[in-house]
Amino acid sequence: MERTIEFPTYRDLMKDKKILYYISRSDYFLKEMGYTDHGIKHAGWVAEKARFVLLETIGDRRKAELAGIAGLLHDIGHVISRHDHAQNGAIIAYNLLKEKGFFDDDLTEITYAIGNHEEETGIPATEVASALVIADKSHVHRSRVRDERNIFQDIHDRVNYAVLDADLEVEKENRIIRLVLRIDTEISDLLDYFSIFQPRMEMCRRATERLGFKFRLRINDTDL
Ligand SMILES: [Fe+2]
Ligand SMILES: [Fe+2]
């Protein structure tokens, strides 16, 4: 039987001052290091999509909420360092959520997911971790570029800037999770996209398979 939800939802946590503080501090350090936006817009998008992916695939409300919470907190490890931010973030999330009375079963689902969300070190071996990976790796968007003057020097900024629209769709009948992108190919061609995001797309594919679905990419109305 599916367990009832006995913890605050990600939307409740999005109103929590301390959690918002950690997200904004992480984003501050990332900005200083020259990375794209990882603030509440990124955290909120990833939380919403991770939750949506599990609701639409396995349909487990508790796990979907846990994926939402993992999505909200997944990048807070940047208050320590970019390197190992996934593992460090899992420990910080553990402490923040323990204070709020989360049970160990729920905490450990969240810590595993956060600790395994980066392609260099992560193995998305659970449903919650898989949903987080799919949502996080899909969030490519113009709004993540902090300064459009960088788009000619920085390939990450250029590719993000070229993406006008990004969305995740779940096609239950065909068991497909699809990332749908609209890219301005005048700004960045598809080779740019794949040259930096190929490992991410590969991780998405593995995560999607963990949910028993197939990963598909549609760019400018063309299925790839
Ligand atoms: Fe990350
Ligand atoms: Fe992220």
Q: How far is the CA of 143 from the centre of ligand 2 (A)?
A: 14
Q: How far is the CA of 173 from the centre of ligand 2 (A)?
A: 29
Sorted by where each starts, the structural domains of the chain and their CATH numbers stand as 10-223 (1.10.3210.10)
So what's the pLDDT on residue 56?
98
Q: Would you say 86 and 116 are in contact if contact means Cβ atoms under 8 Å apart?
A: yes
DSSP 3-state assignment of 176?
Answer: strand
Q: How far is the CA of 220 from the centre of ligand 1 (A)?
A: 26
Q: Would you say 131 and 55 are in contact if contact means Cβ atoms under 8 Å apart?
A: no
Q: How far is the CA of 102 from the centre of ligand 2 (A)?
A: 23
DSSP 3-state assignment of 180?
Answer: strand
Cβ neighbours for 83, distance < 8 A, ≥ 6 positions apart: none
Q: How far is the CA of 1 from the centre of ligand 2 (A)?
A: 32
Q: How far is the CA of 212 from the centre of ligand 1 (A)?
A: 24
Token pair for residue 77? Answer: 């490890």
How many other CB atoms are there within 10 angstroms of residue 97's CB atom? 21
Q: How far is the CA of 117 from the centre of ligand 1 (A)?
A: 6
Q: How far is the CA of 1 from the centre of ligand 1 (A)?
A: 33
Q: How far is the CA of 98 from the centre of ligand 2 (A)?
A: 22
pLDDT along the chain (224 residues), means of 10: 80 98 98 96 98 98 98 98 98 97 97 97 97 97 94 92 97 98 94 92 97 97 93
Q: How far is the CA of 133 from the centre of ligand 1 (A)?
A: 9
* Burial category of 87 from C-beta neighbours within 10 Å (exposed 0-12, middle 13-18, buried 19 and up): middle
So what's the pLDDT on residue 2?
60
Residue 105, by phi and psi: left (phi above 0), alpha (psi -120 to 50) or beta?
alpha
Ligand closest in space to the Cα of 117: 1
Q: How far is the CA of 83 from the centre of ligand 1 (A)?
A: 10
Ligand closest in space to the Cα of 71: 2
Q: Would you say 40 and 19 are in contact if contact means Cβ atoms under 8 Å apart?
A: no
